[in-house]
Amino acid sequence: MADSKKIDCISPNTGVAFDQWEETGPAEFQSALDKLSSASFSDLFEVSSRRKALFAISNAIEKNRNEFETIIVNEVGKTKAEAVAEVDYSKSFLTYMADLVISESFLQKIDTDRKVHSVSRGLGLLITPFNDPLAGITRKLANCLGAGSGAIVKPPELGIKTASKLEQVINEEHLDHLVSFYRTRDRDLIKSLIETDEIGTISFTGSTEVGRVLSTLAGANLKAFVGELGGINPFIIFSDANIEKAVEDLVIRKTKAAGQACSAQNILFVERGVAHQVIGKITEAFANIEALPTNQFENALMGPVRSQDALDKLLNFEAKLINSDASMVVGAKNKNKTSGYMYNPSAYLVDDPLLFMEYEIFAPLLGIFIFEDRSKIKEIIKQNKQPLVLYAYSEDQIFLEQFIFSLNYGSIGLNDTGIQGAFAPTGGFKNAGLGREGGKWGLNEFTATVNVKSRSA
């Protein structure tokens, strides 16, 4: 497209531009910052006002549901069903928080002459991910508004149109004094925002590498930092598991959003006694799922990966697997894709799980490692440097509870992959993140305490 000041939005379904966007200028940044800092805290002082704003945004999303669904399909390549689910998911954070703030105590009397107020740390800088272009914003926004803070949303370049639609509906609700959107690729501008006195909490979802940089900047400026970062997520199937259920859950979890989720599993550890059966079922299931352009196929089971860069990295990783003598279980149909960023679900059997324990796949590619010694597998999983999510399947519930003892993963699914929800804390340990999102735990990340002791004169 001709306008050099505008940036193309490339659809993963086609690999070509479907729209454009323009960066926010420095003057607009300062104007919005001044507006938020002067208006949002007074307007959100009362809990009832926070509740009203949260419901207003949720209702506005519902009123514009069809357009959000269409944009999500076109912009990030989610299937129609996934787009519908994301709109519902995005609303759940807002409505849950609207109810939570009414029951949450922001003022506690802890002694006869002492009270503790829970107050906002300051404006929230919300740096959001592309893979959930709507829910990735609302899960942070709900925490921020619920704490009584105005929010600055820095959406991802790859999810910019969804964010712009949300900005539009928020403005139509006359809530732009509470939420402002900053569209920029300028890292120096983000750095300058973090340095401003008005910002109290920085919340980021994305790679560990970027998270380290942002947390360092936040720390240097004595700001709170919440980071949900990259995860290396093992999936374990023990020999006494319900194999049908385990494989069904694994396939759904790995192919949802084309594997582009922080909670998607990287590698399957399967006990030798059931390995042949499990691998056979995975092969059959993966072979029946084809990556398709979701804007053309409403009933597609899976869409593309988001960008050419993501596809290139995936193919380079696959080349490393082949060079390391990994054995392809399924995935031969991935060649000769002519348009879009399509990659069919694939699985590789490895003799050494190290490659899959050091690199976050973020795509529909699965490593498989067959094991015999349960204690050795636990040790491998315990040494994970990015422990975000762990899944384990066995019919022996007592064994599972014993197995996960001392394993610090942010979320653990036992015979279940439904680990997320507006009411539940998510986040990781070590290089997988810092702090938590979701529920009252996410709310607390945006608050600090004021200790007030008073006596009658």
CA atoms within 13 A on the CB side of 360: 24
Residue 70 pLDDT greater than 50, yes or no: yes
Report residue 2 as tokens. 């001709």
Q: Which CATH superfamily is domain 7-229+432-453 in?
A: Aldehyde Dehydrogenase; Chain A, domain 1 (3.40.605.10)
Q: Average pLDDT, stretch 158-172?
A: 98
Confidence of residue 72 (pLDDT cuts 50, 70, 90): very high
Categorize the per-residue pLDDT at 244 as very low, low, confident or very high, splitting at 50, 70 and 90.
very high
Residue 30, pLDDT score: 84
Tens-digit pLDDT profile for residues 276-293: 999 999 999 999 999 999
Of 241, 144, 182, the closest CA to residue 447 belongs to 144
CATH class, domain 234-421, is alpha beta
Spatial CB neighbours of 162, under 8 Å, sequence gap ≥ 6: 68, 71, 72, 75, 76, 133, 134, 155
* pLDDT value, residue 336: 53
Average pLDDT over residues 394-400: 98
Tens-digit pLDDT profile for residues 405-433? 999 999 999 999 999 999 999 999 999 99
Report the distance separating Cα 136 and Cα 141, nearest Å: 9
**How far is residue 281's CA from residue 259's CA, in Å, rounded to a whole number?**
18
**Cβ-contact 400, 392 below 8 angstroms:** yes
pLDDT tens digit sequence for 141-153 = 999 999 999 999 9
Residues of the chain within CATH 3.40.605.10 domain(s) are 7-229+432-453
Please tell me the distance from the alpha carbon of residue 34 to that of residue 30, in angstroms, as a whole number.
6
SS3 breakdown of the chain: % helix, strand, coil, rounded to 5? 45, 20, 35
Q: CA angle, 14 as apex, 8 and 18 as ends, to 5°? A: 35
pLDDT at 219 over 70: yes
Quickly tell me which residue has 């394993």 as its tokens: 407
Average pLDDT value for residue range 27-46: 88
Q: Which helix (H) or strand (E) holds 137?
A: helix 135-146
pLDDT for 4: 52
Does residue 250 register a pLDDT over 90? yes
- Model-level pTM? 0.96
pLDDT higher than threshold 50 for residue 1: no
Identify the pLDDT of residue 49.
96
Q: What is the pLDDT of residue 2?
A: 42
Average model confidence (pLDDT) across the chain: 95
User: Which residue, among 71, 13, 73, has the nearest Cα to 305 in the 3D structure?
Assistant: 13
| Positions of E strands within 351-426 | 365-371, 389-393, 411-414
Run of H or E residues at 320: helix 308-323
Model confidence at 35, pLDDT cuts 50, 70, 90, reads: confident
Residue 42 has pLDDT above 60, yes or no: yes
Using alpha carbons, list the distances in angstroms from residue 275 to 251, 267, 416. Answer: 16, 14, 20
What pLDDT, in 10s, does the model give residues 435-448? Answer: 999 999 999 999 99
pLDDT at 110 over 60: yes
Query: Average pLDDT, stretch 218-233?
Result: 97
What's the rounded mean pLDDT across residues 20-45? 88
Q: Contact at 8 Å (CB) between 149 and 201? A: yes
32 falls in which pLDDT band (50, 70, 90)?
A: confident
**Ranges for all domains in the chain classified under CATH 3.40.309.10:** 234-421
DSSP string, 26-74: HHHHHHHHHHHHHHHHHHTSSHHHHHHHHHHHHHHHHHTHHHHHHHHHH
Average pLDDT over residues 299-309: 96
